[in-house]
Every structure is written in structure tokens, then in C-alpha cells.
Amino acid sequence: MTDKQNNSEPTKRIAAIDLGTNSFHAVLVDIYPDGSFRTVNKLKEMVSLAEKGLEDRLSREAMDRGLEALKRIKFLCDSHYVENILAFATSAIREAKNGGDFIKEVGEDIGIRVRAISGKMEAEMIGLAIMHSIVLNEEMVLMADIGGGSVEFIIGNDKEFIYYNSLKLGVARMAAAFVESDPITEKDIKKLQDHFKKELAEIIKLAKKHKVKTVIGSSGTMENIGEMVASRKSLTAERSLNELEFSTDDFNDLYSDFIKLDRKQRKKEKDLDEKRIDIINPGMVLVKFLIEKLDLEKIKISEGALREGMILNYIENKKEQLNLDLVANFKDPRRRSIYELLRKTNWAEAHSRHVTNFSLQFFDEFKEELNLKESDRELLEYASLMHDIGYYISYRKHHKHALYLIKYSDLLGFKEDEINIMANVSRYHRKSKPRKRHKPYKQLNKKLRKRVKKLSAILRVADGLDRSHYQNVQKLEISNKKEIIELLITTHSDPELEIWGTLRKGDLLEKLTGKKLKVFQVLDKK
């Protein structure tokens, strides 16, 4: 069995359960030899441990809801042959005087060993998950995970965290302590703001010092806010909220309308989670407070949260025991997730890299003529690397299988529009050119369809140059003239197949440039 085949088989299946204040979240994942993981299933159970506010004890009713939720989660784990269950309890359970009793009942009645983690550890793991899921750079950002009992704050960039902690500012806790009216009054908002000012003084000071202009939100409250903004502003977030980005002005527009609504009106908001109707407002006020105090400009959403942090922590601690090879991982979540998918689908590496090199050479030559952006170059590179992964399913219609695999593989660090571009460009490396009768292409807006057409025109020609899949074309020179595009190829052997493949797939590039494509060969005598 080859290394590539080994990489396509998971090493272990585990589950991570986040026992939060409002809900219990479980994610089941397969861990692969390269240290990556793939989601197998998810389950979210609303338990509302603090339905009457966070008190010093969990009610019997709340504990029973929690036990029932964990029974369903355990059944899911057993039915999927999960080998290890990681279960971490957060603020509501760790602060309750009878939290230990609940953990004991879970162990005895259900067989899940629950660990109550510190707020600081929770914040650190959330930060790791966000760093894994979102593209960060050297700019310092504020990460905020708004839960029911606590809010985890992390200040950091792609290299380090300079602050991480958990504060008792969760929406259920704040709603119980400060919200007395419906709709929420200016008086209640002022009480919340005063409390935030006092509790967040250190964070505000540090964030200002590091010129933070972006907040990255994770977990339910922030995701729900993202969904409502996306719906109102017609932002693409149909499949994934990860990397969803919007301006603070967009949030302020939502806030000014939403904060005036009473419970009955909030219930009509189609994108608002029903279980958050009574507790969402303190979260809205908190985000508004952070925007104003820090003069923030952007908000991004991360779907990576505590559960993913638990998995990353497990992989790091068990890498030797599981015989994992993490050397091939990239720090950048975009490139890392692309290569994880390539390895899992047993990609034709030599052919794909060869085609990618040609694609980028064509891109650099025609960038200005086709009015392409530098960001298009990266998407073309990834689409070229992935164009043949559909073989993993079957040779027949492998171009369509590639589209499916790219769209539904939860590639991290990419916006949904970017995933759709890569998927469609890969799909059009063979057979038909982009046409509106093709549903995945038709669903794209006009601007995206234009980008797909230009990038797929390049990939088609590049793929044709390695029609044999044996890298016969060793060198490519492009002479881009006024009416003709001349390709001078240096080959090892007779290039009839490559010339045929290139000319056969060159019609789209010819149409976009208004030029005739010609191929000339120089035989490599070596």
C-alpha cells in the first residue's frame, strides 16, 4: 500500500462534546495520518441550563435535559463506532455547586467522562480553533466567543495570542441580570454598557494598544448575528458561515432595527434561532459596545470553536501515540485544507502539479488582457491542483465529481464564493465549456460566472498540454501576439496527443482573447 493510499484511510474516529450553558454540541471526526480531521457527523442539543439565569445550582429539570441530550449524543457516537469521546464542561457546570453531581451522573448513567475545564483553557482552545479555521495575518484581531454563561476573548494574530481569558459576560447571564423590559429599554442597555465598560477595561486597553480593527466571532450568538446580517445584506452564506465578513456599518444597520423589536417581533425573524429569542439582545449590545470603544471596521465569523479546539489539542497530544505525521501540514488554513483534500482523494500529484505550473504561466501572461486579479491566481492554482480529484469517485464524469468534492469538503479559510469558483473551474477542465444550463454555474452571479469562464479557459489549455498525463511537455514558451497565441513546446517524445489536447480545449481562450491558438514543437534530443 502506498503512502498516498495510507493517507486516505483514517487512523481513528473520535467525538468532541462541548457542554455549554445554552446547548450541548457534539462533532464526530475521523483523524487521518497527516494530522488532519474530517467531520463525520454533528449534533446540537439545546438544553438551556440557565433558563432562569445562572444560579449557584443546576435545577433538577436542567440536569435531566442535559442527561437526555447526552444519551442521544452517546447513541450517535455508538452507532458511528466512535473510539474516544472528549467531553468538556464550561461555565454553567463548572460554576454550579452541584456541577460535580451532574458530571458524576453522566459518567454513571451514560458512560461519558466529562471534564470541567477552566475558563482560560477554554479561551485558549477556542483561539486555536479560530486560528485553524480562519485566515489570519500579522494584524492583531480580537476573537470573541459569546456563550450563554461566559464570553471568551482572545487577542492575537497568525503567530501568537497575547491575551486569552474567559469572562462571566454570557448572554443568558447578562439577560437575567440586566434586562428587565421587552423590548429592551435604553435604561437596560445603559446598565449593560456600564457593566461591559467595567469588566472589559483591560481588554479594551490592550486592543487599542495593538490597533485592533477586526473582531472575529465564533459560536452560536455570533453565528446567529452573522446569519441575520448575511440575509439582510444578501451576502453569500448559504452553505457556510466560516469566513463570512461584513462591515461594522452592516452590523449597525441590523442593530438599529433589531434592538427595537419585542419578543413577538423577534420571533418572526426567520434567521434568529428560536432558543435565542430571549437572550440575544445582550450579545447585540456587547458587539455594539466593542465596535464603538475600539472603532472596529470589520466583523468575521469563524465556525471553528471549542469543539474543534478540543480535537486539535487531542491530535497534538496524541500525535506520537497515533503515529501521525504532521510535517506536511501548512500553517495557512487555505493551503492546508486544499492539501488535506488532495491527499485524501489520492490525487494524481505529478500530473496535477505539471498542469498547475502551466496554468500559472498562462495566468501571468494573460492577467492584464483578461482583467484578472492577483486573488484569481491563487484560486486558479488550487483549482488546477484539484481538477482531477473526481477520479477518487470514478473516471466517468470525474470533472463533475471534482465539483461536488470541492463544494462539500468544508475547505477552511475560503469564502463561499471562492469555493464556488474553484469548484466550477475544476469542473470545466474537460468536456463542455461553462454554460447557463448547468445548474451549479447558473446559480453564480454574473460577476462570478465571468471569473469562472476566464480561469477555466486557462485551465483547459494547461490540462491539454499534459493530455498523456506523462509530463511529455517539459518546457512551455508563450508568444502572445496581436492576432495569434503561439505556444512553443519542448518535449521528450512525439507530442501529437498534447497538441491535439491543447487545440481541442483552446476554443474558450480563443473566444475570450479574439486570437487564434497555435502550437509548435521543439523535440528535446537529450
Residue range 330-371, pLDDT digits in tens: 778 999 999 989 988 989 999 999 999 999 999 999 999 999
For residue range 467-507, list pLDDT tens digits in order.
999 999 999 999 999 999 999 999 988 899 999 999 999 99
Query: d(Cα 284, Cα 255) in Å, to the nearest integer?
Result: 7
Pairing of strands 84-89, 151-156: unpaired
User: What's the half-sphere exposure (Cβ side, CA atoms, 13 Å) at 245?
Assistant: 14
pLDDT confidence of 56, banded at 50, 70, 90?
A: confident
Task: Identify whether the C-beta of residue 248 lies closer than 8 Å to the C-beta of residue 296.
Answer: yes
Mean pLDDT in residue range 38-43? 92
Q: Place 329 in a pLDDT band, splitting at 50, 70 and 90.
A: low
Take residue 147 and report the three cell numbers written for it.
Answer: 456563550
Question: In angstroms, rounded to a whole number, what is the distance separating the alpha carbons of residues 251 and 288?
Answer: 8
- The overall pTM is greater than 0.75: yes
pLDDT of 524 strictly over 70: no
For residue 6, what pLDDT is reported?
Answer: 54
pLDDT value at residue 4: 40
Name the strand (E) or helix (H) holding 39: strand 37-46
* Per-residue pLDDT reduced to its tens digit, 288-311: 999 999 999 999 999 999 999 999
CB 91 within 8 A of CB 22: no
Report the alpha-carbon distance of residue 290 to residue 461 in Å, rounded.
50
pLDDT digits (tens, 9 = 90+) for 431-444: 899 998 999 999 99
Q: What is the pLDDT of residues 199-225, one digit of tens each?
A: 999 999 999 999 999 999 998 899 999
Q: Is 15 helix (H, G, I), strand (E, B) or coil?
A: strand
- Mean pLDDT rounded to a whole number for the chain: 92
Q: Is-cis flag, bond preceding 33, omega within 30?
A: no
Q: Is 382 exposed, middle or buried (0-12, 13-18, 19+ CB in 10 A)?
A: buried
Q: What is the mean pLDDT of residues 419-438?
A: 93
Q: Stretch 175-202: mean pLDDT, rounded?
A: 96
Beta strand residue intervals within 158-281, DSSP E = 161-167, 214-218, 245-247
Is it the case that residue 252 has pLDDT exceeding 90? yes
Contact (CB, 8 A) for 99 and 276: no
